């Protein structure tokens, strides 16, 4: 989608492109069966879109949430299951296959990227390295070839809250921001993602003055100001056990990925 078409669909598109250098923040929270991305089950996934209004203020957008079936031979750590209180085998749990859940989430994220004229999504999470590691492991395990998220850059709200608020625990960050935290809903991927999105938006909005000054300085330095960002080739992650290539066929090298930092 070019600049004109993105702006026609979403008048705030240029503001989002400029705010994060062409990357679209999307809050992701995963509930898992442990701490090991390669072996422990993915049980829930939620993605919360981030929108921007015509004044440049960020706000929480739509939530997309799925229960996920544990992949074959995955591990369920008893200590982790006590914390998240998920019963993976409950007959009323509407769980779907891991690859189906990822495809559905990625389809929504790609639509949002196009709507804003951005080039790629960047995962936002509270202790985001955990969620990104599990997401990348699931992508590799399922052989999904179109991942809209940057493979190693992320925005961590634990870091942002620590710097801006002096609090790294999500519940305490919400408290000092004057927002509520419902313990009974904690460790649901959808609830945690929505609360994380609120923290991210509020902190970014408080930094509006700093961002405006930085943009002015960038203009003084002669840096080109983005109005739309060309779509970046999505990472093509091959299945973990891929058969040998047929000698008569050549495989293209993976597309280079631009760091978000």
- The secondary structure of residue 207, as a DSSP letter, is T
**253 phi and psi angles, rounded to 5 deg:** -70, 150
- Other CB atoms closer than 10 Å to residue 189's CB: what's the count? 27
- The secondary structure of residue 227, as a DSSP letter, is S
Q: Confirm whether 187 is a catalytic residue.
A: yes
Contact assessment for residue 32 and residue 125, using Cβ atoms and an 8 Å cutoff: no
Residues facing 124 on adjacent strands: 27, 155
DSSP 132-201: HHHHHHHHHHHT---B-EEEEEEEEHHHHHHHHHS--SHHHHHHHTT----GGGTT-HHHHHHHHHHHHH
Catalytic residue among 64, 67, 126, 187: 187
User: Six-digit token pair at 79?
Assistant: 């200590």
Contact assessment for residue 70 and residue 76, using Cβ atoms and an 8 Å cutoff: yes
- The DSSP bridge pattern shows strands 95-96 and 23-32 to be unpaired
User: Six-digit token pair at 242?
Assistant: 């891929």
- The DSSP bridge pattern shows strands 120-125 and 23-32 to be parallel
The torsion defined by the Cα of 113, 102, 171 and 94, in degrees rounded to 10, comes to 130
Active site residues: 187
């Amino acid at each position: 989608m070019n600049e004109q078409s993105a702006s026609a669909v979403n008048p705030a598109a240029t503001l989002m492109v400029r705010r994060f250098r062409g990357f679209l923040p999307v809050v992701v929270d995963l509930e898992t069966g442990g701490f090991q991305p390669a072996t422990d089950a993915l049980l829930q996934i939620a993605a919360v879109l981030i929108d921007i209004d015509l004044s440049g203020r960020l706000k929480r957008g739509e939530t997309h949430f799925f229960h996920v079936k544990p992949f074959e031979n995955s591990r369920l750590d008893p200590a982790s299951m006590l914390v998240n209180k998920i019963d993976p085998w409950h007959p009323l749990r509407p769980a779907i296959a891991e690859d189906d859940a990822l495809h559905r989430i990625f389809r929504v994220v790609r639509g949002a990227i196009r709507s804003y004229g951005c080039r790629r999504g960047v995962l936002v999470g509270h202790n985001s390295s955990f969620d990104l590691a599990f997401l990348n492991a699931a992508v590799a395990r399922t052989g999904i070839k179109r991942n809209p998220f940057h493979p190693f850059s992320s925005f961590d709200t634990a870091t942002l809250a620590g710097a801006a608020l002096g609090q790294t625990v999500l519940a305490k960050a919400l408290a000092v921001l004057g927002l509520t935290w419902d313990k009974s809903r904690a460790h649901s991927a959808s609830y945690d993602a929505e609360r994380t999105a609120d923290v991210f938006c509020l902190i970014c909005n408080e930094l509006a003055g700093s961002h405006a000054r930085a943009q002015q300085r960038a203009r003084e330095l002669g840096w080109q100001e983005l109005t739309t960002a060309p779509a970046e080739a999505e990472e093509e992650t091959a299945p973990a056990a891929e058969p040998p290539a047929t000698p008569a066929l050549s495989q293209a090298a993976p597309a280079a990925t631009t760091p978000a930092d």
